[in-house]
Structure 1
Amino acid sequence: MDYVKPAEILDTMIESGTSKANLSVLQMIIRGILGGAILAFATTLAYTAVTQTSIGLAGAIIFPVGFVMIVLLGLELVTGTFALIPLAVLERQTTMSRMLANYGWVILGHLIGCAIYAVFYDLTVTKMGTDMENPLAKMLIQVSEAKTLGYQKMGLSGMILVFIKAILCNWMVTLGVVMAMTSKSTAGKIIAMWLPILTFFAQGFEHAVVNMFVIPAGMMLGAKVSMADWWLWNQIPVLLGNFVGGALFTGILFYLGQKPFRRSASSTIAVKQGQQKT
Structure 2
Amino acid sequence: MTQVPFDALLPAEMAKKAEDAGVAKATKHPRNTFMLAIMAGAFIGIAFIFYTVVTTGNANMGWGANKMLGGLAFSLGLMLVVINGGELFTSTVLTVVAKASNKITWGQLAKNWVLVYAGNFVGAMALVGIMQVARHFEQGPGTSHALGIQYMSIADHKLHHGFFQAVALGTMANVMVCLGVWMTFSARTVTDKLLAVVLPVAMFVAAGFEHSIANMFQIPMGIITKARVDDSFWAEAGRAASDFDALTWSNFLINNLIPVTIGNIIGGGLLVGWFYWYIYLRPSKSA
Equivalent of 2:113, from 103, 128, 132?
Answer: 103
Q: Distance in 1 between matches of 2:87 and 2:28?
A: 10
- Check if 1:62 corresponds to 2:66: no
Equivalent of 1:213, from 214, 217, 224?
Answer: 217
Q: Distance in 2 between matches of 1:69 and 1:108?
A: 19
- Check if 1:144 corresponds to 2:166: no
Q: Does the CA contact (< 8 Å) of 1:11 and 1:262 recur in 2?
A: no
Superposed CA deviations along residues 231-277 of structure 1, whole A, max 9, x for unmatched, are: 111101111110000011101111122236768xxxxxxxxxxxxxx
SS at match of 2:102: coil
Q: 1:75 maps to which residue?
A: 86
Q: What's the offset of the Cα at 1:122? A: 2.7
Q: 1:233 maps to which residue?
A: 255
Q: Distance in 1 between matches of 2:146 and 2:258?
A: 29
Q: What's the offset of the Cα at 1:78? A: 0.7
Relative to structure 1, the CA distance from residue 261 to residue 68 in structure 2 (aligned partners, 3 Å threshold; closer, same or farther) is farther
Q: 2:62 maps to which residue?
A: none
Q: 2:40 maps to which residue?
A: 35
- Check if 1:196 corresponds to 2:200: yes
Superposed CA deviations along residues 13-34 of structure 1, whole A, max 9, x for unmatched, are: 0000011011222112111110
Q: Does the CA contact (< 8 Å) of 1:132 and 1:138 recur in 2?
A: no
Q: Does the CA contact (< 8 Å) of 1:141 and 1:219 recur in 2?
A: yes
Superposed CA deviations along residues 84-121 of structure 1, whole A, max 9, x for unmatched, are: x1111111111111111111111111111111111211
Q: 1:49 maps to which residue?
A: 54
SS at match of 1:140: helix
Q: Does the CA contact (< 8 Å) of 1:182 and 1:192 recur in 2?
A: no
Q: Does the CA contact (< 8 Å) of 1:21 and 1:102 recur in 2?
A: yes
Q: 2:13 maps to which residue?
A: 8
Percent sequence identity is 25
Could you tell me which runs of 5 or more consecutive residues in structure 2 were left unpaired when the two chains were aligned. Answer: 1-5, 60-65, 227-243
Could you tell me which runs of 5 or more consecutive residues in structure 1 were left unpaired when the two chains were aligned. Answer: 152-157, 264-278
Q: Distance in 2 between matches of 1:61 and 1:105?
A: 29
Instruction: Write the letter of the residue equivalent to 1:173.
Output: V
Superposed CA deviations along residues 39-95 of structure 1, whole A, max 9, x for unmatched, are: 100111111111154422111112111201101122100100112x11111111111
Relative to structure 1, the CA distance from residue 123 to residue 6 in structure 2 (aligned partners, 3 Å threshold; closer, same or farther) is same
Which residues of 2 match residues 95-174 of structure 1 at below 5 A? 95-124=105-134, 125-126=136-137, 133-148=144-159, 150-151=160-161, 158-174=162-178
How does the TM-score come out when normalised to structure 2? Answer: 0.83
Instruction: Write the letter of the residue equivalent to 2:179.
Output: L
How does the TM-score come out when normalised to structure 1? Answer: 0.86
Q: Distance in 1 between matches of 2:170 and 2:254?
A: 14
Q: Does the CA contact (< 8 Å) of 1:21 and 1:94 recur in 2?
A: yes
Relative to structure 1, the CA distance from residue 126 to residue 165 in structure 2 (aligned partners, 3 Å threshold; closer, same or farther) is closer
- Check if 1:249 corresponds to 2:271: yes
Q: What's the offset of the Cα at 1:186? A: 1.2
Equivalent of 2:99, from 89, 105, 121?
Answer: 89
Q: Distance in 2 between matches of 1:213 and 1:81?
A: 18
Q: What's the offset of the Cα at 1:226? A: 2.3
SS at match of 2:281: helix
Q: What's the offset of the Cα at 1:133? A: 4.4
RMSD of aligned Cα (Å): 1.9
Q: Does the CA contact (< 8 Å) of 2:138 and 2:147 recur in 1?
A: no
Q: Does the CA contact (< 8 Å) of 1:175 and 1:196 recur in 2?
A: yes
- Check if 1:258 corresponds to 2:263: no
